[in-house]
Amino acid sequence: MSAGRGAILIGVAVIIGIVLLQLIDDGTTGPIGDGKKSTETTVTTSSGKTTTTTSAVPVKTPAQVPVLVLNGSSAKGAATSMTNTIKAKGYPTLTPADAPARTGSVVYFKPGVDRECTTLATSVGGNPQVAPIPTPAPTGSENASCVVILGA
């Protein structure tokens, strides 16, 4: 008898959990969402009226995310090899080049493409750090959305 009550209690808890997740998940943000990111725009008119609108920004496809690969390791041709790997996955690539020596790889992202560069990082391997692009930005990165710097 108590086993039956326990099973009913677990069932009710699962149902409540599903309902709460549905209420919390608006389908546009975070890992639970549908891959879209919410952006909010606030406009104040000359009459003092303030309007806020929210819109979803879709995730860019690899073809929309130019990538620059730089070699900060001592391995000859590493940036060219990684560029070819990334290009095979559908990313447009810039001419690979060298970077100052570093330990560990990093994938830098420009504003608005953090999700896309995080996805790209899985192609790099070795569990690279993912971070906003620093100031000053790496040389040659002006036309890149993501910059991969391979480290030793």
On whether the pTM is more than 0.85, the answer is no
Contact 60, 36 (CB under 8 A): no
Q: What is the DSSP string of 41-70?
A: EEEE-TTS-EEEEEEEEEPPPGGG--EEEE
Q: For residues 142 and 67, state if they share a domain.
A: yes
Pair (116, 42) in one structural domain? no
Same domain, 34 and 96: no
> Do 66 and 135 belong together in one domain?
yes
- In a shared domain, residues 47 and 68: no
Q: Which residues of the chain have pLDDT under 70?
A: 19-56
pLDDT of residue 61: 93
Q: Which CATH number does the domain housing residue 91 bear?
A: 3.30.70.2390
Residue 64: predicted pLDDT: 95
Task: Please tell me the total count of domains within the chain.
Answer: 2
CA-derived radius of gyration, the chain: 22
Whether residue 4 is contained in a domain is answered as no
Residue 96 belongs to domain spanning: 62-151
pLDDT, position 84: 96
Together in a domain, 121 and 91: yes
Which pLDDT belongs to residue 32?
Answer: 45
Q: How far is CA 82 from the centre of its chain?
A: 19
Please answer whether residues 149 and 106 qualify as being in contact, where contact means their C-beta atoms are separated by less than 8 angstroms: yes
Residue 10: what pLDDT? 87
Amino acid letter at 114? D
pLDDT at 42: 57
* Spatial distance between the Cα atoms of 61 and 84, rounded to a whole number of angstroms: 18
Judgement on whether residues 70 and 137 belong to the same structural domain of the protein: yes
